A and B are shown apart, each in its own frame.
Chain A
Amino acid sequence: MKAVTWILRILSTATFAYMAYLVYVALDESSAWGWSAPYDFVVTVFHLLSLLAFFLSVLIMNGLTAAIFGGQLPDQMVAWLYNTLVLKYWNMQPYGVDGPISDVNLVFESFQMDLIGVMLSLWDNTFSFLFFLLAGLGVALFLQSLVRMDHKFSGGAFLSIQSILIIGAFRGLTVPNFTIFPTDIIVFLTSSPQILALVSFAYLEFSYQMIYSHSVGRPVEDREETLKTQLLALRQATRKQDAIESGEKVRTTAMSRASGATAFSFLREAIERKVFGTTEALENLDAVSDVRRLQHFVDELLLSNPNAREELTAKAAAPSESYVIGSTITGSAMRFLGVVIISFLMMSPALFVSMLSLPPGVEYSAELLELEFILIFLLPISLLFVFVSVIIGWFSQREEVEVVELTKEEKEAIKKRREELKKKKKAAVKARRARKKAKKKRKAEEGQDEWDKALEDTYKR
């Protein structure tokens, strides 16, 4: 299965690269990829922070002055703070000031203007920064998906890249779009937004197929690895126990952890019991004997049954590669075809409109040209698929109803067991009543010790 996974890995990489390239090109037309955007964003954030720091310092120092000296902070001090915190650290660049400001009124005027300017600039820079952030995130998640084979990373990479276009659309940048949705399927298929959509969908399809091919072959490989580790750990453990018995100091469980203890908690537990439970000598003896007996059991099993190892690793369960390749191609092709055709029909309602021969009021209505019109078809058709599958599922469930027929002996045994239980319960109820009675009697004669009383009663009789 490794070869199939690698082919799909390459396909997934190619489609991701193409998708990312198309998105880059689409936004590049609006010059959204200013390479200084990340730097500008960081600088703007610091500008904002310096303004906030100034404001807070003035507030705090005013409060302190009022508390200590009973007056306001001197104007020179305020001007000095502004010159130091806001202007000096950023070389007076963004605010078009030639030198330090000494008039306190000018200081606050400038502060007010600067704050609004910085906020507006931050609003602009944030989006440019977000493009880079999402692009970086998308690439990082994509790389992770290649290694970790987890759908979360593939889905994350897809959403990150598409989010760039969503934000671009929000900012009013030029993003791929259909001015008029084509009614001709050939025009639709060759249009650039459709190509980008199809490539994006293909990326998702290939990456999920890649994860499937990995996960369908991997468990068998993993099993084999786990078994090897377990058997190795077992051999080492018995050696370790010998060392423990002979009084040598053993480096606790580091070995079991290093050699796949996650897959072999039994051994680790056994060894830990041995190493740490020094007070429980018998328990330690059990742990040692457990591991030894397990080793004997496994050795005997592997010797007596030549298929035992294969069954433990489930080697025979590995699927054939050729079928996986064939079914991947046909399955993906069918899905692509189905998705593209159904989506086209839903997006372009002209066909349905002509088929249904709607009244002119509806046929020429402006709503038909609205994008939201998709929902009229999308919801029922999607739910129809779900409904059909539920019906099919319901029928298949009916097929699997198992009727367990009991033999005569089994029925009789059940009957007998029930009767016995009934009898026993009856006897128990009787005994319980007698007990209650005795208890009541005892309660009535409180004051005397129950044991003394019982003894007396016993010897009287």
Chain B
Amino acid sequence: MITQRGFVVLFGGVLLLTSGFVFINAYLALLGVYLIVGLVVTLPFFAMTANIAGIEVDREIDKVKLFSGDFLRVRVTIKNTSRRHFDFIEVWDRYPETWILAIGENFIASRIEPGSSMTFSYILQARMRGRYFLGPTEVIMRDRLGMHYFTRVLKEKTEVLVYPTWKDVRRLEAMGKQRQLGLMFGSHRTKTIGMGTDFAGFREYVPGDPFRLIDWKSSAKRGDMVIKQFEMEKNIQVVCMVDSSGSMGNGYPENTKLEYAIRAAVLLTHMGMERRDLVGTCVFSDVVHSYVPPSTHPNHMYGVLESLAMAEPSGWSDYESAVEYVTQQTRKRSLFIWLTDLEESPAPLLNAMKTVVANGHKAMVISPFGPWFEVPVGQFGPVEKVLAEAVSEELWERRSKISRALARFGIAVVNVGPEDFLPTIIKQYEEAKRMGVAMF
């Protein structure tokens, strides 16, 4: 209620009053009384005017769904619908802590007259994916001399869904445009000879081949019956299994294993959609949080982005229930790409993989290796360094066992760090395309 300024005045008043009493000086006492009365005399009037019911705050945003790293303009309008004058009003529009205020300011301080309104806007950058709320709006009303204040929080919040970053896709497209073909680039088409319209070559006539396929010209030249072969592009079906267990949240903020896995899933879906492949995404931990079945629908990408945007690292990885859920919904032969750190017990994982293979699917694991996502060893002291190396070695040993175990099912495990996570997923996808794994 009383501001710091008010307390200074109160202190001055009490000092002068007590000085007046001590030195029997009526002037000092009078001035003390002036200050104390001056502090409280306008309080009832201020309490009467400082009625928040007359203030309405309206927040507008350009879009409610955006990509991580995108900019968002927030427009705030404050209306005084009452007949009161608000001498000094401060409005603070709160935004999520992880976001960055790029342009403008998220507060305004001014006076507002009856029936009038004021508008201000600012530009934010959304830094991390997830579901966020803009607001609440804090309104602070002060009296003219700034000795009293009332604070009210207007609880209206605006929900914003931040999709995972799109920068990897942008980068991929930009580099593709520059025709820089390297490890990460170059598309492979999965073809089957037989049906189709694309010419694939010649082969000798075998009894039973339709006559319309015989190429008479070539047959005349060779003196033997030759038929024309055609090929058709086939598409593959991929299910991206994103593990969102608690251990996937380890690593640098914004660069956790889960964040990389999500980026990889976005990239995979984008590439799949570009090439008319079916890519589905499942986010799971101890429960299946979301599953977007493989599709080529134009809005499919948004479904995937929404499910990935909500992923939070928590719980443990229940591979079995995730596989059960997905295999029930996806009957067609698919390639399961697991993005998991494999930090769970072996039995459920092996059972899950067994179920995948038994259902006629193919699978592979792209596994972020924990220590590579942690603080660089160079930043440790000698003791921590030794400990980190020991832990790392043990984990690596465990990894080797997992790889050996999964190899028996024909499932490859690729250990990745932050640098090669995305290139690996592209490479594996291209490889799958080339090999014609899980065609439909």
Contact = CB atoms under 8 A, between A and B. Distances in A.
List the 6 closest A-B pairs by CB distance, nearest first.
A317-B118, A314-B120, A169-B23, A454-B346, A389-B47, A396-B51
Contacts of B109: 215-216, 219
A311 interface: yes
A438 B345 contact: yes
Interface in A178-212: 178, 181, 193-194, 196-198, 200-201, 204-205, 208-209, 211-212
A385 B41 contact: yes
Nearest to B62: A301
A286 B171 CA distance: 10
Contacts of B47: 388-390, 392-393, 396
B34 A343 contact: yes
B103 A294 contact: yes
A53 interface: no
B301 interface: no
Interface in A411-448: 424-425, 427-428, 431-432, 435, 438-439, 442
B34 A201 contact: yes
B354 A458 contact: yes
A450 B120 contact: no
Interface string A353-394: 000000000000000000110100010011001101110110
Contact of A151 (B5, B17, B52, B88): B5
Given A226-B105, A396-B47, A374 B321 contact: no
A385 B119 CA distance: 35
A371 B29 contact: yes
Contact of A382 (B1, B40, B346): B40
B100 A215 contact: no
B64 interface: no
Contacts of A438: 345, 347-348
A431 B286 contact: yes
A239 interface: no
Contacts of A397: 52
A344 to B, nearest CB: 9
B12 interface: yes
B429 interface: no
Contact of A323 (B42, B46, B113, B286): B113
A318 B315 CA distance: 52
Interface stretch (A38-46, A61-69, A126-134, A155-163): A155-163
B115 interface: no
B12 A159 contact: yes
B9 interface: yes
B402 interface: yes
Given A193-B27, A317-B118, A155 B110 contact: no
A405 interface: no
B351 A458 contact: yes
A32 to B, nearest CB: 15
A439 B348 CA distance: 11
A426 to B, nearest CB: 10
A297 interface: yes
Contacts of B440: none
A339 B38 contact: yes
A317 B31 contact: no
B123 A290 contact: no
A423 to B, nearest CB: 9
Contacts of B23: 166, 169-170
Interface string B384-421: 00000000000000100110010010000000000000
Nearest to A392: B47
8 contacts: A177-B27, A181-B26, A216-B87, A289-B170, A371-B20, A432-B286, A449-B401, A450-B346
Main DSSP-derived SS at the A contact region: helix
B167 A286 contact: yes
Contacts of A392: 44, 47-48
Contacts of B348: 435, 438
B37 interface: yes
Given A166-B19, A427-B321, A454-B347, A298 B48 contact: no
Contacts of A200: 31, 34
B9 A204 contact: yes
B108 interface: yes
Nearest to B3: A151
Contact of A317 (B21, B119, B145, B287): B119
Nearest to A159: B12
Interface residues of B, number: 96
Interface residues of A, number: 111
B155 interface: yes
A209 B87 CA distance: 11
Given A220-B110, A317-B118, A371-B26, A400 B405 contact: no
B98 to A, nearest CB: 13
Contacts of A216: 87-88, 109-111
A34 interface: no
A151 B29 contact: no
Given A339-B41, A378-B36, A454-B347, A308 B121 contact: yes
A209 B144 contact: yes
A374 B69 contact: no
Nearest to B144: A212
Interface in B17-76: 17, 19-21, 23-31, 33-38, 40-44, 46-48, 50-53, 69-71, 73, 75
B140 interface: no
B87 A194 contact: no
B34 A389 contact: no
A459 B351 CA distance: 10
B125 interface: yes
Contacts of A318: 110
Interface in B140-160: 144-147, 150, 152, 155
A293 interface: yes
B122 interface: yes
B196 interface: no
Contacts of B112: 317, 319
Contacts of A452: 401
Contacts of B15: 159, 166
Nearest to B103: A230
Contact of B37 (A159, A319, A343, A390): A343
B176 interface: no
A175 interface: yes
A316 interface: yes
B103 A227 contact: yes
Nearest to B75: A311
Contacts of A176: 27
Given A335-B41, A392-B48, A427-B321, A317 B108 contact: yes
Contacts of A266: 100-103, 125
B329 to A, nearest CB: 16
A290 B126 CA distance: 11
B104 interface: yes
B110 A212 contact: no
B21 A371 contact: yes
A193 B145 CA distance: 25
A275 interface: no
Given A371-B26, A385-B41, A317 B347 contact: no
B52 A450 contact: no
Contacts of B315: 428
B53 to A, nearest CB: 4
A294 B109 CA distance: 26
B318 A223 contact: no
Contacts of A385: 40-41, 43-44
A177 B30 CA distance: 10
B287 to A, nearest CB: 4
B29 A374 contact: yes
A290 B20 CA distance: 64
Interface in B89-136: 100-105, 108-113, 118-123, 125
B85 interface: yes
Contacts of A374: 17, 29, 33
B145 A205 contact: yes
Contact of B120 (A269, A312, A346): A312
B8 interface: yes
